[in-house]
Structure 1
């Protein structure tokens, strides 16, 4: 699926808080799924986050090193198939969204992790192992850490303290979304979903759920989940 935000904004840490973006030089599922779990738990209610696989970062600045390392195109299908199994190891089940983006003439795998609606989530310390112990992970700055003690207690209470106007509206219909406002938003953020001369791509995006519910930098969340655009 296409991202609802421009890939360059993610690489340059623009329009999205830096602690919601994580760069990974290569495919390391054990470490990556700690962050998938942490972003899904969204302890600070920031809206989840993004993991960019195939992008190394500068140790001093934390910024992406260009040109990017990239992910070999012949390995991408295998990684996506692995993720199907690893997603089932998250408890309760959670499925991050993925997008393969062309950057510096290479491919970058973007794993998009919106805040989960069934928080809190846990995941094995090593998703590649059958006997690994499960932990709850949260974000602490730009790192994913195990939630312990009072922090773990607070994480478990997240569902009961989510404000009403920040909860997802499962009753909203696609017809309730304004194509005009939707088009303007996609153009503003430089999304590949933005229309080119007509409303066709916007209608397709709306109908396939790409920017509906928890699958995007939700338009509804910017105005209150129960408002209609």
Structure 2
């Protein structure tokens, strides 16, 4: 049977971190056994790993095309592997081992998930003098565990990630076969074709989204979050409320709600942002041929913020996520609020400094599925991706915050400083008008209060008619009759132009 992911993406580390992949050119049983043991111990909480037999490795990268395994040897190796695990691993684990035809050669992919009875031990060698030892991964290296690491594994064995737990309130029928097949087809998994003839229970077990005794197979929480049409029935917090404010006071607003599987929510939210909120502008300066393009909010930064809010939140918490969009006013921004706050050791100070380096995850399994869909970044790269995207767009850095009790996690993304007042167009040409010192002073005066030409002349002690005519022609000021006088006031475009000339 095939695996529920794209093999080419796996081998080239496109959706799985390279430290979770070990290549073996040939069948070396006890070396492979140690790696299997280390992946099952999963001391860094990566989510297990993959051993790929039949492909060599050089400087951490696969040597392609593969050397492969003779087809006639595949069955014997699989039988040997099963017996090897049975006799030389304590506690027993039996990872999935799958023959795959890749680039015209047969290879074996061994999928090892995080074990439920850590720490695991493996024989360090064949023969009577073999000793059972605990092995762990340090980066891409498998080694014997230290005493401190043994203690750490004992601590990890007590805790099970919420998304990897069986949901006792759900049944297999709460999972939707159509959603599962759609996923397998999208990631181009070879399991998609095989799944057509499988029962729902068998497919759930194969995808490792259900577990239990044969007579009582039940879904895991991660399965419900991704493959249940209404996961909010089991997790009230699996909903995102979006509120758009039209004024600074927050009295005029519109609301929209997104629900359904987590990856569906992400895409629906981003489709809405892309069609309604995100806009590109072209800035053209006078007397300069080049133009500069920028977005009010760069897509990648917003997508990563939305993904993080659904990936890292706790689904034991019933409070839905909230996205607030402030479209007008002096402080236009997008706020994304999720519950609860970050896990230790991340605190308020670390967030203020944008130093997010922790490796603790609430939803380890969910992250793997989202990465297969290329919706989530690899480990510890989400916040740097947001910062980098904003920086390349010329936008301010994001503001990350929580409270002392870590009841929530707030991300604030401010609009690009050159974003003009909202336009109906998705791409707007923004002309940067170079102002003389006198024109700037006129606009500064009008920022304080609307004035007549004589009042402006009185403040600046110079005739300003020519400059006012220029500013009127550019739409930076407007004139309005007030009795016998004409009052001049600054337009939103005038404010933008004044800001751009500082």
TM-score by length of 1: 0.85
Aligned to 2:222: 220
Aligned to 2:56: 56
Moved over 6 A (4+): none
Aligned to 1:80: 78
Paired residue total: 218
Residue 29, structure 1, aligned to residue 29, structure 2: yes
Note if contact 2:37-2:136 (Cα within 8 Å) is conserved in structure 1: yes
Aligned to 2:195: 201
Aligned to 1:111: 110
User: What's the offset of the Cα at 1:187?
Assistant: 2.0
Unpaired stretches in structure 1, ≥5 consecutive residues: none
Note if contact 1:72-1:107 (Cα within 8 Å) is conserved in structure 2: yes
CA deviation string 1:168-210 (max 9, x = no partner): 2174532221223212221232111225xxxx82571632221
SS in 2 for 1:4: coil
Aligned to 2:165: 168
Residue 123, structure 1, aligned to residue 122, structure 2: yes
Does 1 or 2 have the higher relative contact order (CA < 8 Å, sep 6+)?
A: 1
C-alpha distance in structure 1 between counterparts of 2:18 and 2:182, whole Å:
25
C-alpha distance in structure 1 between counterparts of 2:221 and 2:53, whole Å:
26
C-alpha distance in structure 2 between counterparts of 1:180 and 1:154, whole Å:
41
CA deviation string 1:107-154 (max 9, x = no partner): 00111111112222111102x324311111111111111111211111
Unpaired stretches in structure 2, ≥5 consecutive residues: 212-219, 235-260, 262-502
Alignment partner of 1:69 out of 67, 70, 76 = 67
Aligned to 2:3: 3
SS in 2 for 1:52: strand
Larger radius of gyration: 2
Aligned to 1:146: 144
C-alpha distance in structure 2 between counterparts of 1:120 and 1:70, whole Å:
32
SS in 2 for 1:157: helix
Moved more, 147-156 or 128-137: 128-137
- Assess, with a 3 A threshold, how the Cα gap between structure 1 residues 151 and 58 changes in structure 2: closer, same or farther: same
Residue 187, structure 1, aligned to residue 189, structure 2: no
SS in 2 for 1:80: helix
- CA-based RMSD of the aligned residues comes to 2.6
Moved more, 149-158 or 24-33: 149-158
Aligned to 1:44: 44
C-alpha distance in structure 2 between counterparts of 1:120 and 1:201, whole Å:
34
SS in 2 for 1:194: helix
Aligned to 2:100: 101
User: What's the offset of the Cα at 1:155?
Assistant: 1.0
User: What's the offset of the Cα at 1:223?
Assistant: 4.1
